[in-house]
Amino acid sequence: MQDVFQYVETHRARFVEELCTLLRQPSISAQDVGVTECAARVLSLMSEAGAEARLIPTPGYPVVYGQVSAPGAGRTVLIYGHYDVQPPEPLELWESPPFEPSLRNGRIYARGAGDNKGQMFAHLKALEAILRTRGRLPVSLKLCFEGEEEISSPNLPAFVQKHRKLLAADVVYASDGPMHPSGPTVFFGCRGLLYLELTVAGAKRDLHSGNYGGVAPAPAGRLAQALASCWTSRGRVAVEGFYDRVKKPSPADRRVLGAIPLDGRTIRQDLGVSPVAGPGARAYYERLLMQPNLNIAGLTAGYQGPGSKTIIPHVARAKVDVRLVMDQDPDDIEEKIRAHLKRRGFGDIEVKRLGAVPPSRTPVDHPLGQAVVRAVTQAWGRRPVLFPNLGGTIPDYLFTRVLGLPSIWVPYAPHDEANHAPNESITLEGFMNGIRSTAAALFEIAAA
């Protein structure tokens, strides 16, 4: 890899300058600001890097798609990324304007620097570096960069379904999200999500609790009872069958979980409380990554202002998010929650689904995953931390379930990238080692 890595180092200043140019182009999907212009810019960057690139329309913003064929190569790698960014507000908290990239403290500060333009652009520069030094890629490459990730990828599921042939590959490689605080990171999937809203309705208006207390329905109390029935006194989810499909961590998962560094003191300082998971890194990460969780994300009823107001609120509402692990299915879990409420006498509670994404996993000991781990080790000069999956949720199931591919994620942004927040950044080290990681990954995947 020396020649390729040398090319990356030689062209460092230009790569940074080009990234800054891309970061100057706003692409705020939530506000319809500059996204189409940004797609056009990504298209030319993709072509300049050496791919046969085109825009593929969707009902929303286009996918920038590129292909580089390598005749005789045994494998095809599909790289996913996104070129849209979060809104930059609140503007007054930025130390430099969000769309005027600023280099300081060894970082590039700008909206999209970490999430995801810096990481996405690193793939293009890896492509350029290999083609300019070797003349051809060791694998065939497909690039799929969407413009709607920050608004929950509304058109990506249909796009992937429709273009299964076009996207056919041997493995998906993607870079998004932050690295673990200890350094380079590789993860193999994510927890899923089921988001529900529970509503209990009573009278058609709030009632005086002196005039009606004890004789009128009391939605807030009823909702509290229904929610409380969902857990045992020890904090386990009491919804019948909730854990039925939860897989035990494999021996490889256990090894990986036990090797993730856990800095309990920093977590306590950051949160102001101690985590509830039992002692040790393995218990902490097993609970966080490989166990499902039922959480009340919002709870609303009645009077919440200063002082007292004696009413029976006429409606009570809860937002509930369920983090799902393999092999749980959002439809099945929603059914079980409905059945549980009915069985406990809360069949009148209205349950509305606000969103669902299935969980997704690639085995941590997958040979192509191991190839990527070797590549990241070469790029950084040390072994990455491995995560069986994220605690959070990304649409990884589109790759693993719809396309049926192993999917390996290698974030290039620092743990404190401040994505979605003011003063977002990527470190120059992360950007440059990201380019080297992608380049090395293509060779390691070819050789595996």
Residue 378: enclosing H or E segment and its boundaries? Answer: helix 367-380
Q: Which of 75, 199, 42, 91 is nearest to 141 (CA)?
A: 75
**Letter for the amino acid at 228?**
A
Choose between 115 and 444: whose C-beta lies nearer to Zn ion.
Answer: 115
Least gap, CB of 150 to Zn ion (angstroms): 5
Strands 63-68 and 140-146: antiparallel
Residue 357: enclosing H or E segment and its boundaries? Answer: strand 350-357
Hey, how many other C-beta atoms are within 10 angstroms of the C-beta on 171?
25
Q: From 111-119, 178-186, 283-291, 342-350, give the range in contact with Zn ion by CB under 5 A.
A: 111-119
Choose between 115 and 148: whose C-beta lies nearer to Zn ion.
Answer: 115
Q: From 5-13, 110-118, 219-227, 401-409, give the range in contact with Zn ion by CB under 5 A.
A: 110-118
| CA–CA gap between residue 7 and residue 126 (Å, rounded) | 10
Least gap, CB of 177 to Zn ion (angstroms): 8
Q: From 113-121, 333-341, 345-353, 396-404, give the range in contact with Zn ion by CB under 5 A.
A: 113-121
Least gap, CB of 114 to Zn ion (angstroms): 9
Least gap, CB of 178 to Zn ion (angstroms): 10
Instruction: Enumerate residues 6+ apart whose C-beta is below 8 A from 343.
Output: 240
Choose between 129 and 413: whose C-beta lies nearer to Zn ion.
Answer: 413
Choose between 286 and 424: whose C-beta lies nearer to Zn ion.
Answer: 424
Q: From 91-99, 107-115, 254-262, 365-373, give the range in contact with Zn ion by CB under 5 A.
A: 107-115
| CA–CA gap between residue 81 and residue 83 (Å, rounded) | 7
CB 54 within 8 Å of CB 65: yes
Hey, how many other C-beta atoms are within 10 angstroms of the C-beta on 152?
11
Least gap, CB of 176 to Zn ion (angstroms): 7
Least gap, CB of 419 to Zn ion (angstroms): 5
Choose between 111 and 317: whose C-beta lies nearer to Zn ion.
Answer: 111
At 380, is the secondary structure helix, strand, or coil?
A: helix
Query: How many residues form the binding site for Zn ion (CB under 5 A)?
Result: 1
Instruction: Enumerate residues 6+ apart whose C-beta is below 8 A from 169.
Output: 76, 77, 78, 142, 403, 405
Least gap, CB of 222 to Zn ion (angstroms): 38
Residue whose token pair is 């849209």: 84
Least gap, CB of 392 to Zn ion (angstroms): 11
Least gap, CB of 421 to Zn ion (angstroms): 10
Is 302 exposed, middle or buried (CB count within 10 Å of its CB: 0-12, 13-18, 19+)?
middle
Q: Which residue is nearest to Zn ion (CB)?
A: 115
Question: Which of 8, 39, 76, 115 forms a contact with Zn ion (CB under 5 A)?
Answer: 115
417 binds Zn ion (CB under 5 A): no
286 binds Zn ion (CB under 5 A): no
Is 432 exposed, middle or buried (CB count within 10 Å of its CB: 0-12, 13-18, 19+)?
buried
Least gap, CB of 297 to Zn ion (angstroms): 19
Q: How far is CA 271 from the centre of its chain?
A: 21
Choose between 140 and 185: whose C-beta lies nearer to Zn ion.
Answer: 185
Choose between 115 and 253: whose C-beta lies nearer to Zn ion.
Answer: 115
Q: From 7-15, 32-40, 114-122, 253-261, give the range in contact with Zn ion by CB under 5 A.
A: 114-122
| CA–CA gap between residue 299 and residue 208 (Å, rounded) | 21
Strands 207-208 and 189-190: unpaired
Q: What is the x/- site pattern for Zn ion, positions 287-316, by CB under 5 A?
A: ------------------------------
Q: What is the DSSP string of 255-319?
A: HHHHHS---HHHHHHHHSS--SSPSSHHHHHHHHHHS-EEEEEEEEES--SSS---EE-SEEEEE
Query: What letters, b where the CB count within 10 A reaches 16 and e where it falls short, cover 12-38?
Result: eeebbebbbebbebbbbbeeebbbeeb
| CA–CA gap between residue 108 and residue 132 (Å, rounded) | 26
CB 23 within 8 Å of CB 111: yes
Q: Which residues of this chain interact with Zn ion, rule CB under 5 A? A: 115
